[in-house]
């Protein structure tokens, strides 16, 4: 199963990303406790941590709390993580998820996020990474909501029913996005 399993040994995630998840969690003490029990005690900006250890924390959150917390943490990432500057459209915002992902991970195959337009006010995001589906859906929704065009009433992000899914052992999930 690709979910919760780093694609390469030695991949690391930066402390800023760890802190953005802690700050975005409505269960901050629970999240800090799980991090500490997995060797990430008092996470700090400027430090790097094993992605596999980090993914183990996501697995525990998934098992003990479930998809709602994973989604909530992902949704808060656009407010708490570092993203490239000069984002002023929903299309640029969604494309920037991959740039931010690569800014915050290093050392090996980390996977990717690829945004493609499908027509007016709709597109798809291809996520090939080891993170849980609900976390990615939260990131995509949070980013799209943050940069939703004026006049758009809603943003909808749905797992593509015809696509692959990491919950089924695939390396990829695809999300349909409309606004």
For 119-134, how does the pLDDT look when each residue is reduced to its tens digit (9 = 90+)? 899 999 999 999 999 9
Phi, psi values for residue 67, rounded to 5°: -65, -25
User: What residues does each domain of the chain span?
Assistant: 1-179
Estimate the share of the chain in helix, then strand, then coil, as percent rounded to the nearest 5.
45, 20, 35
Tell me the whole-structure pTM to 2 decimals.
Answer: 0.91
What percent of the chain has a predicted confidence (pLDDT) above 90? 70
Q: Which option is the CATH number for 1-179: 3.40.50.150, 3.20.20.70, 1.10.10.10, 3.90.1520.10? A: 3.90.1520.10
pLDDT averaged over the chain? Answer: 91
Q: How far is Cα 107 from Cα 142, in angstroms, rounded to an integer? A: 27
Residues 177, 125 contacting (CB under 8 angstroms): yes
Q: How many contiguous H segments (helices) and E segments (strands) does the chain have?
A: 6, 7
pLDDT band per the 50, 70, 90 thresholds, residue 77: confident
For 99-158, how does the pLDDT look when each residue is reduced to its tens digit (9 = 90+)? 999 999 999 999 999 999 998 999 999 999 999 999 999 999 999 999 999 988 899 999
């Amino acid at each position: 199963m690709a979910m919760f399993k780093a694609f390469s040994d030695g991949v690391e995630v930066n402390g800023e990303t760890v802190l953005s998840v802690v700050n975005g969690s409505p269960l901050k003490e629970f999240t800090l406790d799980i991090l500490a029990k997995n060797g990430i005690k008092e996470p700090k900006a400027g430090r790097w941590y094993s992605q596999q250890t980090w993914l183990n924390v996501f697995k525990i959150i998934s098992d003990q709390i479930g998809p709602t917390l994973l989604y909530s943490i992902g949704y808060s990432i656009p407010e708490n993580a570092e993203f490239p500057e000069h984002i002023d459209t929903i299309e640029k915002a969604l494309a920037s998820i991959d740039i931010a992902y690569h800014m915050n991970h290093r050392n090996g195959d980390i996977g990717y996020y690829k945004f493609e337009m499908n027509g007016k006010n709709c597109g798809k995001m291809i996520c090939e990474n080891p993170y849980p589906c609900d976390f990615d859906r939260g990131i995509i929704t949070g980013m799209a909501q943050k940069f939703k065009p004026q006049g758009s009433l809603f943003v909808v992000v749905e797992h593509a029913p015809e696509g692959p899914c990491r919950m089924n052992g695939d390396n990829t999930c695809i999300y349909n996005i409309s606004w």
